[in-house]
């Protein structure tokens, strides 16, 4: 049985924080390995592992990309993932077959 990781706690502040959280959750959902990041919305409970202040000119998508980079630096997520999609695996298998490496 795999050990479940505790969620990485993130607090986002500033204008557009809710939209940035939505963009971040979309990016995290697409990552293999199931990154677990929890949004901290108040001061109750444990302190956040990362605080992110929205810049005045950050778009939600840009802020989400910056947060993914910060989370990756902290070891909370692996944007590369290392896993291939089923379509990618099939394309590689076909290519290797065409080249004669597989039958």
Question: How much is the pTM?
Answer: 0.66
Structure tokens that stand for 60 in this block:
């939600």
Dist. CA 1–CA 15, nearest whole Å: 42
Is residue 54 over pLDDT 80?
A: yes
CB 38 within 8 A of CB 9: yes
How many other C-beta atoms can be found within 10 angstroms of the C-beta atom of residue 32?
A: 13
Residues 59-103: pLDDT tens digits? 999 999 998 888 888 877 777 765 566 777 788 888 888 888 888
How many other C-beta atoms can be found within 10 angstroms of the C-beta atom of residue 16?
A: 17
> CA of 103: how far to CAs of 84, 89, 91, in Å?
21, 15, 14
CB 16 within 8 A of CB 56: no
Structure tokens that stand for 35 in this block:
């990154």
Range scoring the smallest mean pLDDT among 18-22, 36-40, 78-82, 90-94: 78-82
Residue 52 belongs to what H/E stretch?
A: strand 50-53
């Amino acid at each position: 049985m795999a050990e479940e990781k505790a969620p990485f706690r993130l607090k986002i502040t500033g204008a557009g924080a809710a939209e940035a959280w939505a963009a971040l959750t979309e990016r995290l959902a697409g990552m293999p390995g199931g990154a677990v990041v929890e949004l901290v919305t108040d001061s109750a409970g444990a302190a956040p592992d990362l605080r992110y202040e929205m810049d005045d000119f950050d778009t939600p998508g840009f802020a989400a990309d910056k947060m993914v980079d910060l989370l990756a630096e902290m070891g909370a997520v692996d944007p590369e993932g290392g896993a291939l999609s089923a379509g990618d695996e099939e394309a590689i298998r076909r290519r290797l077959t065409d080249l004669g490496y597989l039958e």
